[in-house]
Structure 1
Amino acid sequence: MLIDGELVPSSSGKTFENINPYTEESIGVTADGTKEDFERAILAARRAFDETDWSTNHAFRAKCLRQLNEGLTRHLDEIRPLLVSEVGTAVWLTRDTLLDVPVARLRDFADMAESYPYEQELPELDFRGVVSKRYQRREPMGVVAAIIPWNGPWGSGLGKIGAALAAGNTCTLKPSPDAPWSATIVGRIIKEETDIPSGVMNVVTSSDNLMGEVLTTHPDVDFIGFTGSAPNGRRVAAAASGTLKRMLLELGGKSPYIVLPSADIQAEAAMAAKLICTNAGQGCVARSRLLLPRERYEEGVEAAAAAMAEITYGDPADPNNYMNPLVSKHHRDNVLSHIEAARKDGNRIVHGGGIPASQPKGYFVEPTLIADVKPDDHIAQNEVFGPVLAVIAYDDIDDAVRIANNSDYGLSASVSAATNEEAIAVAERLRTGTVSINGGVWMHMDVPFGGYKQSGIGRQFGIQGFETYLETKVFGIATGTASESLAWGDPGEKKAS
C-alpha cells in the first residue's frame, strides 16, 4: 500500500488472496489494510493538503500528473496481463476503455490543472451605498476519498484521482478487493516515478468492503468519489450524511436499446446482443433492455439469439475470445439468481441461461437472451451486471418512451432509426444522462458522464467533472468612496456609507 509517501504492508501483517476469475486460482497476495491504516492515510492526506502548496501550485500538479502518465505508459505491457489476470478482462478491451484510454486521459487532467480559470471577475456592484469589486474563486475541496469498483478499475480509478489531484485535492484511494492490484500499481509508480509529495496520494487495500466506512464517516475527509451499485451508493450517502460531505456517486443503470420501426431490426438486435456481452455485461452503461416494435418482435429476437450464438468466450488472454468470465463466484451466483427470477416470472429463455458446459473452470455465465419480458418484470427493473439481455415489445413510439423511462435508473440509452432526426426526437424524451444516436459515440474526456434518478449524483469527466472537485468562494472588496444611495431603514432616510 502507499501511505504517507511509503510503500508499506498492512499494520496487522495480514494479506488476502487475489483470485484469477478464469483459473479460479490465486495469482498472489495483497496487503489487508486495517482501520488504523485507513486513518493514517487520511491524516497524511490532511497534512499534505494543509501544510504544502499542492493546492495552489497548478504548474507543479500538471507536471506530476504528466509524470504519472509517462510512468504508467512505460509499464503498460507489464500492467496489461495483470489486469486480465485479476479482473478477467478480455485482453482486447485493455487496449481501449479499460486501460490504455484512462492512462492517456491523465494528460488531459494535467492540462486542466494549468489551464482552468480558477478566478473569475464579477460585475462591480453598488449596493446600499457601498461600491464593491467582486470575484469568484474555485478552490479544491480538500481531502478526497475515492472508492472504486472492480469492473473498470483503471477507468474509474484514474478518472477520480486524475480530476481530484488536478484540482488540487489530496486523496486516499480504496479499490475493490476483487481488483486490488490495479490501485497498488498506481501507488508504486507514484512513489517511484513521480514527484507527487508524501501524503498527497495514498492507496489502501482491504479484503473488507465495509472498511470504506472509515472513509465515508471520517471528519477529515471532505469529499467522497464513489462508483458502484445503487444500494451501495445509498449506503455511502447515508454514512457521509453525518458530516454532510460533498460527494460524487456514479451508480448503476438499466439502460434501454430502443429500435424504432424504421431501423434495420435484425442488425440492431444483433448489435444489442453483442454489446451486452462486452466485458460480460459488467458495465454500468450496458444496454440491458432491448425494446422492439411488437409487429417485428420475433424477427428481432431471432437475430439477437443468432448473434449470441456466435459470441466467443474462454481464456480472456486470448484475443480471439470476445467475452470474458465474471469477476467472482459470488457475482456469478448473483447473475444466475436474476436469471432464475426471470424464469419464475414466466419469461422465455431463448439462449443461454446457465453456466456453459464448455468451461469447466472460470466464473462464466452463458450469453443469455430473455424474451417475453414485461416492463415491470424483475429482469426489466433490476441491474444484473452480466451478459443478460431482456427483450421487451412496444406498441408505438409513446409506448417505447414510457417503457424506457420506466426505471429507477437513468444512466444511458441507445436509439436507432432510419434517420438521425427520427432517433433524436425520441432521445430528447428520455430521462438519461447520455444517449447514443444510431451508434454515435458520446464517451470521451470532454464529456460530463453521469445519470438521472438513482444512477447517481454529479458528473465525472469534462469541465463539469473537474469542477465537481472544486469549492466556490466569492469575494466582495470595498473599492473606496461609496456612492450616496438609499439604504435600509425608513423610506427617504439617507445614511452615510
Structure 2
Amino acid sequence: MGLKPEGSSELLIGGKLVPGSGGTFDIVNPATEEIVGQAADATVADMDDAIAAARTAFDTTSWSRDHAFRATCLRQLRDALQGHIEELREVTIAEVGAPVFLTSGPQLEGPIADLGYFADLAESYEWETDLGEAKPMGIKNSRRLQREAAGVVGAITPWNFPHQINFAKIGPALAAGCTVVLKPAPDTPWCAALVGKVAAEETDIPDGVLNVVTSSDHQVGAALSSDPRVDVVSFTGSTATGRKVMAAAAESLKRCFLELGGKSAFIVLDDADLASACSMAAFGVVTHAGQGCAMTTRLVVPREKYDEAIALTRDSMAGLQPGDPANKGTVCGPVISAVQRDRVLGYIELAKTEGGVIETGGGRPAGRDKGFFVEPTLISGVDNSSRVAQEEIFGPVLVILPHDGDDDAIAIANDSIYGLSGAVWGTDPDRIRKVVDGVRTGTMAVNGGIWYAADVPFGGYKQSGIGREMGVAGFEEYLETKAVATPA
C-alpha cells in the first residue's frame, strides 16, 4: 500500500516524539509481503527513559487524583483519533492484514469509541465508600474506603487485534489514574505509534502519563515485567510467554494481569438448528484468518449428526476463501507473517499424522504466490486428546469432534488447559443453562449472542489468564484499596 503516516516512526517518551535509539525496522504488509514503511526501533535504554517518565508523572503530578481532568483527556483522545479514522483504518489493513469490515467494529472504531465509556467511569465511579461507625477494642471510629490508582502500568500487547487490546489497557488504566508505558508487538507498531503521536499533539494528557515504545526486540518489553518502578504489568499474548512475564513480575511482587491463550469449544446440542450452528462456527473461525484467542476452534457436535455436521461445515468454510483484506467482501485475510503461516501449516500436517482427515483446505490457496495466506481448514477424525484439539493454532483451522450427550459435551469443552471463551447452540433453555453453567470459561455465547462490549469484563479461567479486561472489573484491575479510620 506504500503508506507511511507522519510520525509513525517515532516513540512517545515523556511527552516528546523521539526517534528510537536502535534506528528503525521494517513493517511488512502480510497480504502482499511488501515493506510498507519503518517503525522506531527502541532499545532497553529507551524503555528505561519511558519507565522513568511514567514514574515521575505518577509521583509528581495531580493526574492520579483529578478524575474530571482524566475524563476530559480521554474524551479528547477519542475525538482526536476519530478525526484520524481513515488514516488509522489504512494502517490497520496494511500492517495487521485485518479485513476492512472488521475495522468498523473491534479492529478500530469500536475500541476508540470505548474510550468514552472509561471517561464516563472515571467521573461516575464511587472512589470513596463510607463504612459507617464501629467500636473495635471499644473505641468508636468512623471508617471509609478509598480507591486509588495502582501506579505505573506496563502494557504489553499482541498483533492480532492491536487497537482493541491497546485501548482495553490504555483506557481503564488512564481512567483509573495510572500512568502507562505501552509496548506493542513488533508486527504492528504503527497502530500504537500513531496513537502516541495524536496523544502528544492533540490532547492535554500530561508529559509522561502515556508513553509508547515500539521495538523489534522482545527484550525491550520484558523490561516492564522486571523493573521495580512498574507497579502493574498487563500482558496479552501466548500462555508460554505469560508464564515468563509472571515469573519476572514475581521478583518485585508487582500485580500481574494476563490475558492468554484459548482453545474454546462451540457446543451444538441435538435439538439445535445444525445448519445454522455449523455455518456460524465456520464463519467465526475463518474471520481474520482465525487470529483471535477467544475464537471457538473446537466444534463439538452430536455423534449421530457428525457426518452431516462435517458436510455442512465443510461447505461453509470452502465458501470463505482468503482474499485481499482491503476488499469489503473479504472475511479471511492473511495471517500475520511467514513464521505464523508456516506454524499453522505445520499443525495441519501434524493433524494428518494424528489420523485426522482434512475435509477442506489444508494448504496455501491456489493463485496466491504472495501474502501469508492459509486456506480455511476443517479437520475431522481426531479425538479431543490430539494436539490439534488441545493446542492453540491461531489460524483458520477448525477441529470437529463428536459428543455423546450434553454431559459429554461439557466434559470435552472442559478437557483443556484453557478456559477463555465458548458457545452453545440449542433450543431447550434448561439444557442451554446447564451447558453455560458447566463449562469453565470466561465468556459464553448462546445461539450467536455477542458478549463483546466496553462494559463486559473479558478474561479466562485456568491457563487462559488472570484478571479481567474491560468493564468495571477491568477498570478495578488498576486500582488499590485504602482503608481509613478516624476516631469518632
With 335-344 and 185-194 compared, the bigger mean Cα shift is at 335-344
**Partner in structure 2 of residue 467 of structure 1:** 476
Which residue of 1 is the match for residue 7 of structure 2? none
What percent identity do the matched residue pairs reach? 51
Q: Is the 8 A contact 1:312 1:320 kept in 2?
A: no
Farther-moved stretch of structure 1 (356-365 vs 182-191): 356-365
CA RMSD of aligned residues (A): 0.8
Counterpart of 1:120, as a letter, is T
Q: Does 2:194 match 1:177?
A: no
2: CA distance between counterparts of 1:420 and 1:445? 27
Task: Tell me the CA shift for residue 313 of structure 1.
Answer: 2.2
- The Cα shift of 1:211 comes to 1.6
1:419-464 CA-to-partner distances (Å, cap 9, x unmatched) read: 3332122111110011011111111111111110000000011111
Residue 3 (str. 1) matches residue 29 (str. 2): no
Contact 1:67 1:194 in 2 (8 A): yes
Corresponding residue to 1:352 among 358, 361, 376 = 361
Structure 2 distance, partners of 1:20, 1:426, is 41
Corresponding residue for 1:338? 347
Counterpart amino acid of residue 116 in structure 1 = Y
The equivalences for 1:164-203 within 5 A come to: 164-203=173-212
> CA shift at 1:51, angstroms?
0.5
Match of 1:493 in 2: none
Equivalent residue number for residue 267 of structure 1: 276
- Is 1:407 the counterpart of 2:404 in the alignment? no
Q: Distance in 2 between matches of 1:421 and 1:445?
A: 29
Question: Is this contact kept in 1: 2:147–2:482, CA < 8 A?
Answer: yes
Q: C-alpha distance in 2, partners of 1:351/1:210?
A: 39
Cα deviation, residue 175, structure 1: 0.3
1:166-315 superposed matches below 5 A: 166-315=175-324
Q: Which amino acid aligns with 2:274?
A: I
The gaps in structure 2 that reach 5 residues or longer are 1-10
Deviations, residues 463-487 of structure 1 (Å, cap 9, x unaligned): 11101100111011122xxxxxxxx
Partner of 2:459: 450
Describe how 1:118-129 pairs up with structure 2 within 5 A: 118-129=127-138
Instruction: Please list the CA deviations of residues 275-315 of structure 1 after superposition, one character each: whole Å capped at 9, or x if unmatched.
Output: 10011100011100000111010000000000011103221
Distance in structure 2 (CA, Å) of the matches to 1:394 and 1:210 = 44
> Which residue number in structure 2 is paired with residue 89 of structure 1?
98
Superposed displacement of residue 369, structure 1: 0.1
* Counterpart residue identity of residue 165, structure 2: S
Q: Secondary structure at the match of 1:314?
A: coil
Q: Which residue type is aligned with residue 477 of structure 2?
A: T
Where does structure 1 lack aligned partners over 5 or more consecutive residues?
Answer: 480-497
Q: Whole-Å Cα distance in 2 between the matches of residues 411 and 11 of structure 1?
A: 38
Q: What is the deviation of 1:131?
A: 1.0
2:399 match: 390
Higher-Rg member (1/2): 1
Residue 482 (structure 1) aligns with: none
Counting only pairs closer than 5 Å after superposition, residues 8-27 of structure 1 correspond to structure 2 as 8-12=18-22, 14-27=23-36
2 CA distance for matches of 1:239 and 1:258?
Answer: 37
Contact 2:44 2:219 (C-alpha < 8 Å) held by counterparts: no
Distance 2:207 2:453 in 1: 31
Mapped pair 1:71 → 2:80: yes
- AA partner of residue 191 (structure 2): S
Q: TM-score under structure 1 normalisation?
A: 0.95
Distance in 2, Cα, partners of 1:306 & 1:267: 12
**In the TM superposition, what whole-angstrom CA distance separates every residue of 1:64-100 from its partner, at most 9, and x where no partner exists?**
0000000000110111011100010001110111100
Q: Are 2:58 and 1:49 equivalent residues in the alignment?
A: yes
Letter in 2 for 1:71: A
Is 1:423–1:438's contact at 8 Å kept on the other side of the alignment? no
Q: CA deviation at 1:210?
A: 2.2
Q: Find the aligned partners of 1:333 and 1:455 in 2 and give their Cα distance.
A: 24
Displacement of 1:252: 0.9
Separation in structure 1 between the aligned mates of residue 380 and residue 321 of structure 2, nearest angstrom: 22
In the alignment, is the contact (CA less than 8 A) between 1:267 and 1:303 conserved in 2?
Answer: no
Give the C-alpha shift of residue 358 in structure 1: 2.2
1:87-142 per-residue CA deviation (whole Å, 9 max, x = no partner) reads 10001110111100000000011111111111101131112121111111110010
Cα shift at 1:144: 0.3
Once the two structures are overlaid, the 10-residue window that deviates more, 337-346 or 198-207, is: 337-346
Task: Report the CA distance between 1:209 and its aligned residue.
Answer: 1.5
Which residue, out of 365, 370, 376, partners 1:361?
Answer: 370
Q: Distance in 2 between matches of 1:316 and 1:164?
A: 32
State the distance in 2 between where 1:67 and 1:139 align: 23
SS in 1 for 2:331: coil
Q: How many residues align structurally? A: 478
Instruction: Report 1:413-428 matches (<5 A).
Output: 413-428=422-437
What is the SS of the residue equivalent to 1:77?
A: helix
| TM-score normalised by structure 2 residue count | 0.97
* Residues 1:103 and 2:93 aligned together: no
Alignment pair present for 1:163 and 2:172: yes
- Partner in structure 2 of residue 487 of structure 1: none
Query: What is the aligned counterpart of 2:485 among 470, 476, 488?
Result: 476
